[in-house]
Structure 1
Amino acid sequence: MKIVLDAMGGDTGLSVNLEGALLASKYFSKSDTIIIVGIKSEIEKYINSKKISFNCNIEIVDAVDNVGMEDSPTKALQEKQESSIAKGLDLVKNKKADAFFSPGNTGVILAFSLLKLGRLRGLDRPAIGIIFPIGKHPIMLDVGATPDAKPKNLYQFALLGTEYIKIMRNIEKPKVGLLSIGEENSKGSVVYQKAFELIKNDKEINFIGNIEGDDFFKNKVDVIVTDGFTGNIVLKFGEGMVHWLKENIIISVKPLPLAIIGIILSIPGILGIPFFLASMKKLLKKISYDEIGGAPLLGVDGLVFVGHGKSNPKAIKSGMLNAKNLVEHNFIGDLKNIIEKRSDSETD
């Protein structure tokens, strides 16, 4: 197995990406390979200076261009063909690697993925899926690849999300919900009403109907279907809420001087401290995006994961391990068969 890491992507720099690869390598076998793509001299300098020893094989592929987070997809396609994103995806395209992970520019990754890999046959538009760290940790798609989704796109997103969750969660029939402004079938725009009928009529999809925003917290579904415009707004709101919650939990549990004295004088209070701290740690872990690692770009003819631009080493590790898991389960091969089967049945 060979997983590509874009070492130059993201806001946090080369060191974070390489430290994440080091963490991920502990879960790889000796025969597996992590292909690190980026400026070779800088990569080798960092590895040698830190005396990093990976648990699996390492290959370094030189890429002289670097895509910034501010670069437009159009500019990158024209001027950054020698970038770590482009060269990394070329490896997947040419079957020299099994998957690609990057915490870099999402728009550029999407553009190069469509150019290099293309869409799966029978699939109209790709979708970016994100796992929400609340409730059942559902996947929501799309969150930015297709802002102007048509009914058929939303139906296909339901298929993509279903197959993804089957593997990642080992759920035989994931529950699918269509994000709307009410639970009734007639609620939502004409696009969503038509999408509702398409999803409902596919008996292979475990469709529970429309869901609303508050259903994110109710453990109702495993897959949330929406267009990229709505999904991206919800995603950014969710990220901001998690950040706010973490900050306020930390502030709220800082003990006041009198509280400290009260705890010291109370033996039961002292005994309860470890349990309280453990509960807080568990909660913070549960709502952490670091555990998720990255968002799959579903619908292109290859495994592509997009990490957050501010990913830390743990998030890089999580994203690479998600990619590894999908490779082990032949996700793309199985997904091709499912999409092509649906496409063929539509033309019969």
Structure 2
Amino acid sequence: MVLSDKIYLDFNATTPVEPDVVKAMIPFFTESFGNASSDHSFGWAADDAVENARGQVARLVNCRPIELTFTSGATEAINLALFGFCMSNKSKGNHIVTCGTEHKATLETMEALERQGFVVTYLGVDKQGNIDLEELEKVILPSTLLVCIMMANNETGLVHPIKNISKLVHAKHVALMSDITQAVGKIPVDLKELGIDMAIFSSHKIYGPKGVGVLYMNKDNHTTIAKHLFGGNHEKGVRPGTLNVPGIVGFGAACKIASAHLEEYHQNQLDLRNRLEEGLLDLEGVTINCHGQERLPNTTNVSFAGVDGTKLLRHLNTLALSRGSACTSNQVNPSHVLKAMGMEDVDALASLRISTGRSTTLDDIQKAVFKIKTVVGQLKTVVL
């Protein structure tokens, strides 16, 4: 089977780089190859390109360019934000609140902070993946430094009410951090309106290059983090190291494209998602997880009762999709997100995340639905 025979439906894992993004990057590999920290014309040109890109990224999420620090990706940004903020503010307290359905990059960093003496409260979720805002309010203590809740879940697409969470958290004089990686470029994200103190997202989820991300720190709220990486004063000392100029330029170009086509992209993805789910719901024993909730327009998480999940994925070998986050997809473990929502292991293992993208067509969806229906029919192990 050749690659062209396959249908890619895993855009939440990564996206192809837009041709116009590649075009914007190429000169910074070959002609304008200077180090952005060098004090000569080559360096100045590279620095100008970085600052232009910073402005393009800022405009997509409505913040000031000075509030953005470029990183190697969202995972590094999460580590910088959590460790930096907690270490900078540990004299004020040692308590953090997060949610059990966060990305592994956040959860594993929380575990590391616990080993450093911080206390973490992990909020539970209901069967639709929602946190209880009354519970959140109750668990915030005088020692609470930070609440960390993602904007949109990477596996189910569920969108948390970040603006309401922000108001609640700030009323308690606590900072809010949000991983907005999956939301950016798919739904409107206005950092000023949302009132987030720290936010994280990455380039390769929005048709930019891999290896570039960004950390936002709200200057209006005087958000600062302690430095814990050393070796230079790049990126205001927050993240030392020679800047990935071509990658940053590509990130900026991807943000510019996303800004221009957000409404069109949103509606197209929503139409495809609706057609996909209508087709799958014809199958007996199918559950669309978080159905009826506010979700990303491109994301469907679906469970198939009475089906061997491992066989399901292998038989769907012409479809590129996943059972959860790309960070854990090489492990045959049930999704921690679905388990937190109360799902049994056997059902979580028989669940798929299907995420569409700009290049997905209605024909792709129709072919995928047909393939899934055929394979599920062959693999049914119980009569429902």
Task: Give the TM-score, by structure 1 length.
Answer: 0.29
Task: Give the TM-score, by structure 2 length.
Answer: 0.27
- The structure in which a higher percent of residues are helix is 1
